[in-house]
Structure 1
């Protein structure tokens, strides 16, 4: 992974000096010496963090064959052989080609649209001297970050906002719009969490020239429907995951680790990697809560025992249980600001995730496999198929599926909600959830001030967000909407800087996503068993206890323990947020103070910690509100 910086200026001759400062500001993300190259009025530069073998041949920004193009790339290309064959490169030639060189060859052959051929993680800066145009592009899942600022007579770009803030003409201030959207749990827009700094959206290319700015989508999955035998769907999913895991094992140095929970996603990834790494250890990490941590009904608090059974099936898995120690998330907030340059959505989850990072680093792990997007690929539950059957008038098939779900313990209300919910109006659905379920109104889980959300409905509509959160009728559309919200870049970059670990998610593989989207929803809920396809596909490498498990893991089941012991620190943090003008304007500090005063006097193992109202008010509203407020006061530099 590489820290990038670029500057196109029509008024500043000292672009190399400024880009040098921008790269130095990002030294944590790329420890190698900065290399800069200038072509006409643009300078591009990079600081390398070697992650794949071909990084040994990376000599910095690449000049095109005719001298008109200059390119810098932060990339890991997973289909190198395929790209090389299309370019006519031999295996011997390919072995000595660094990723930026290969990206340049793609661009020279097919233009910037050719990046759609590249599978993997990338952020690209391309300067075209002939067109006097700067193009910025990212991979579909945003595994590599890239930001930019358009100023008076210049355009600057960098991997992380701190690189841009090294430019003397770029202001340093938080974006209240982005932070308000964060508090309302809306999808991120183009504006970053810093005012005046824009993120390149995943899967898009932004071109800036004298006429202005244009944006093009690089990747749109073609709508296809696979028609196979049930056994062939399982075989196909196995093959796709095998390929996705295999390409992510390529590394420059260090050991490989993996998250390992009691869920299908991380367990399937870890088991697959273990099979491929037969003669070397795979370090598998399971977060285990403190003693007696409660979990909601139908969930698993301690995923250690089932994870251990996965590890026992594979002799080369070194299973590491990372025990919760009751730490508060508050001391992590400064580190989050420095590493990720944004507020963290679930601070209590960051406690166990970063404890795993600590354990992985101590074992020499340089690549850590995850399964974050498994819900969109491997373990989609197929529930939208109920509404599809109703909409198509297939009542006999619908009745059969409903009976099958009932035999698996589904209540009639749950089946009815999935079946009828997509056809109700947002108002009707909100009324029903308020009356019979869990309130999904913003004020029940968000710390955003009421007077700061006047245009919330309009902003939600812009992102296709249904604030009533009705069930979906189209499983493909639901997953595409969710994937459009994914942006892994800042977290990946921050994890590399903080722990020297490259997070890689095989379930985010573009080819796997395209294949999974082409599978009919009915295959994911075959026989009335949600997540049926993953259960069938990976029964050959997972224990029966996990394959048949209907419960989901409950992350950070001991979330309340650390906060309970840090209420005075919470009050001090709220004091700081209130003294910060943007914080006071967006965060309902008075409500958060009331929550701290009314902190439940429950024992650590009391199941009432998992009542929906408690989780919404304390785990979501309070902790997320404090994370946002802390970011605002750090970015505003007020205290």
Structure 2
């Protein structure tokens, strides 16, 4: 990864000096010396964090277009040979750094040519002929990129702290973005800092003297594969094999992987082990420090099933990672500095940190994950029920419903998935309330009433149905979910904090496109949700996992640590209450009431898993406190 900074100024300022300050502020994300280059009214620069062999040939900003284009990039290109062949390059591609290859792409096909690139990238391109600064990111946002458009200048950098090094860019939180975060709305163009915008994943932003124009670089074609059932499984195996293989390229260090009891990380880990043999794969499983109750249909301790996966592959070094009981509140300052955004689930993040600590201790430089597996490998296909109903295929619907009943599904669940998409939002909300699970924001969000007022409009603008009815189209649901994904800040922060490059094979663009083209019925064949992954990876996973219907429940012992941290929570709320932006967003008094009324259940009491408890305490109180801490730090209030 590379820390980027760029400045286009029409004010006659010392641009190289300013860009140098912006790069120095991001030194944690790029330890190599800063290199800057100026072309007419713009200066671009970078600080390199070498990760792939071709980084040895990275000489900084690249000049092209007969001296009229200047490009700097933070990139890992996974289809280098394919790109070189399409460009007709005769040079030794192994000695061509990623920014050079990207410049060749732009010279040949323009900025739209970046849609041909598979991998992770953030690009800044200055076109001196047109006086246009273009910023672009890969479809899943694996590399971050932010910008500020000021009076007579435009500045861009990998992380907000680079922009805040410019004296004319304010340092303040965005109350709107934080409110949307607490309502779990998709992130918009605005970052979590006021006046700083993010380039959205899979988009290019062109900025000139007249304004800003945003274009989408990647839109998957709507194609439907028609194969034999066995060929679907073979195709998914081949796509994952390729996606994992291209993510093993590195300069040094060992390879690690998350390994849970779920299909996604287990499939990634098992595939990586096969490809690395005999080189070891360090596989990390988060296990609870204390036995705790879990909701029905979930697994609290994923260690035993993960161990069975590891036992099938001689080169997997299985590493169960147990939390050390620390309160995540003590980690919030570190989270702010590394990720520069609020943390969604503080107790889950603590488990992630423990895995990163263990991976670093074992010399891991690349850590594979399976975060987007729900959209690719393990899509459950449940939306096929509504598709059958909506198209009048009632015989096939009855057959699928009988098969699901045989798998243990209740009639109510089948009916909700089948009819829910066709029920008006108000009726659906009433039905959900009737059966004991309120969807009202007041039930799980720490937002003060005044901050909720405008959320309906913003939700509609982002395509969010606040009644959360089931979807009738699995492809549309996954595309909407993928549009919400932005891995960049987490990836960048993990590299800075632990020297570990997070790579997610389930986020591979080619794998996503292939998975979206598979008919939904293949994902729920014979009434077995996630059927395609179960068939595809039976060659590398144990039968216990292939047949497992439960899902992992991370941080099942959250209430134990939180009970011990009540005084810290109260003290944090004291600081939050003194912060004006936090007071504008959060209902601090309600959070205090939750602490005063903290349940006195025993640690092993299953009542900790009641929705009313997890919504109020795990979601509202803990997430609200984390968001308040972010606002307090970003406002520099105390």
TM-score, normalised relative to structure 1: 0.99
What residue number does 2:560 align with?
Answer: 561
Match of 1:9 in 2: 9
Residue 437 of structure 1: CA displacement? 3.9
Give 1:259's aligned residue. 258
Contact 1:125 1:136 (C-alpha < 8 Å) held by counterparts = yes
Residue 416 of structure 1 corresponds to which residue in structure 2? 415
CA distance in 2, matches of 1:445, 1:609: 15
Alpha-carbon distance in structure 1 between the residues aligned to 2:324 and 2:405? 40
Distance 1:442 1:453 in 2: 8
Alpha-carbon distance in 1 for matches of 2:240, 2:549: 22
- What secondary structure is seen at the aligned counterpart in 2 of 1:114? helix
Q: Which residue of 2 aligns with 1:485?
A: 484
CA distance in 1, matches of 2:545, 2:327: 31
**Residues 130-149 of structure 1, C-alpha deviations (whole Å, 9 max, x = no match):** 11110000000000000000
Equivalent in the alignment of 1:382: 381
Q: Distance in 2 between matches of 1:101 and 1:375?
A: 35
Partner of residue 147, structure 2: 148
Structure-2 separation of matches of 1:396 and 1:542: 34
Give 2:363's aligned residue.
364
> Which residue of structure 2 lines up, in the alignment, with residue 466 of structure 1?
465
Please give the root-mean-square deviation of Cα atoms over the aligned residues, in Å.
0.7
For residue 301 of structure 2, what is the aligned residue in structure 1? 302
Query: How far 1:608 sits from its partner (Å)?
Result: 1.3
Pairwise CA distance, 1:210: 1.5
Partner of 1:143: helix, strand, or coil? coil
Which residue of the partner structure matches residue 77 of structure 1?
77
Displacement, 1:323?
Answer: 1.1
Asked if the contact 1:327–1:561 (Cα under 8 Å) also holds between the matched residues in 2, the reply is no
Query: Take 1:409 and 1:13, find their aligned partners in 2: how far apart are those partners?
Result: 68
1:169 counterpart SS class: coil
Per the alignment, in what secondary structure is the counterpart of residue 283 of structure 2?
Answer: strand
Stretches of structure 2 that go unaligned for 5 or more consecutive residues are none
Give the distance between the partners of 2:161 and 2:431, measured in 1 at CA.
Answer: 46
- Give the drift of 1:324: 2.3
Evaluate the alpha carbon distance shift between residue 13 and residue 580 of structure 1 in structure 2; reply closer, same or farther with a 3 A threshold: closer
1:28 aligns with 2:28: yes
Bigger drift between 205-214 and 26-35 goes to 205-214
Residues in 1 aligned to 2:608 and 2:306: alpha-carbon distance in whole angstroms: 25
Between the aligned partners of 1:366 and 1:475, the Cα distance in structure 2 is: 35
Q: Are 2:56 and 1:56 equivalent residues in the alignment?
A: yes
Aligned residue number for residue 42 of structure 1: 42
* Distance of 1:229 and 1:568 partners within structure 2: 60
Query: Displacement, 1:531?
Result: 0.2
How far 1:212 sits from its partner (Å)? 1.2
Q: CA deviation at 1:563?
A: 1.1
SS in 2 for 1:124: strand
Give the corresponding residue for 2:100.
101
1:162 maps to 2:166: no
SS in 1 for 2:124: strand
Partner secondary structure for residue 525 of structure 1: helix
* Corresponding residue number in structure 2 for 1:338: 337
Aligned residue number for residue 291 of structure 1: 290
Please give the secondary structure, in 2, of the residue aligned with 1:177: helix
Counterpart-to-counterpart distance in 2, 1:7 and 1:263: 45
Q: Alpha-carbon deviation of 1:472?
A: 0.2
Partner residue, 1:445: 444
Q: Does 1:499 align with 2:498?
A: yes
Deviation by residue 1:404-435 (Cα, 9 ceiling, x = unmatched): 11111111110100011000000000000001
Structure 2 Cα separation of the partners of residues 21 and 325 of structure 1? 38
Inter-partner Cα distance in structure 2 for 1:380 and 1:424: 23
1:400 equivalent in structure 2? 399
Whole-angstrom CA distance in 2 between matches of 1:628 and 1:290: 26
Question: Following TM superposition, by how much is the alpha carbon of 1:65 offset from its aligned partner in structure 2, in angstroms?
Answer: 4.7
1:436 aligned residue:
435
Task: Give the structure 2 partner of residue 122 of structure 1.
Answer: 121
Deviations 1:326-351 (A, max 9, x none): 22110111011100000011111101
Q: What's the secondary structure of 1:71's corresponding residue?
A: strand
SS at 1:592 equivalent: helix
1:183 and 2:182 aligned: yes
Indicate the SS of the match to 2:630: helix
Q: Which runs of 5+ in 1 are unaligned?
A: none
Number of equivalent positions: 638
Contact 1:326 1:558 in 2 (8 A): no
Structure 1: how far apart are the matches of 2:98 and 2:488? 18
Residue 16 of structure 1 aligns to a residue whose secondary structure is: helix
- The residue that corresponds to 1:520 in the other structure is 519
**Aligned equivalents of 1:444 and 1:250: distance in 2?**
46
Deviation of the 1:561 alpha carbon: 1.6
Distance 1:13 1:291, change over 3 A: closer
Separation of aligned partners in 1, 2:345 and 2:371: 14
Instruction: Give 1:604 deviation, angstroms.
Output: 1.9
How far apart are residue 239 of structure 1 and its match?
Answer: 0.4
Alignment of 1:199 with 2:228, yes or no, is: no
> Given that residues 448 and 588 in structure 1 are in contact (C-alpha distance below 8 angstroms), is that contact kept between their aligned partners in structure 2?
yes
Which SS does the other structure have where 2:187 is aligned?
A: coil
The whole-number CA distance in structure 1 between the counterparts of 2:144 and 2:320 is 31
SS in 1 for 2:170: coil
- Within 1, Cα distance between the matches of 2:136 and 2:107? 15
Query: In terms of mean alpha carbon deviation, does 69-78 or 92-101 score higher?
Result: 92-101
Q: Which SS does the other structure have where 1:342 is aligned?
A: coil
4+ residue runs of structure 1 moved beyond 3 angstroms? none
- Between the aligned partners of 1:252 and 1:491, the Cα distance in structure 2 is 21
Cα displacement (A) at 1:363 = 0.3
Report 1:582-601 matches (<5 A): 582-601=581-600
* Secondary structure of 1:207 counterpart: strand
- 1:455 deviates by 1.2
- 2:630 is aligned to 631
- SS of alignment partner, residue 142 of structure 1: coil
Q: Is the 8 A contact 1:380 1:524 kept in 2?
A: yes
**Secondary structure of the equivalent of 2:92?**
helix
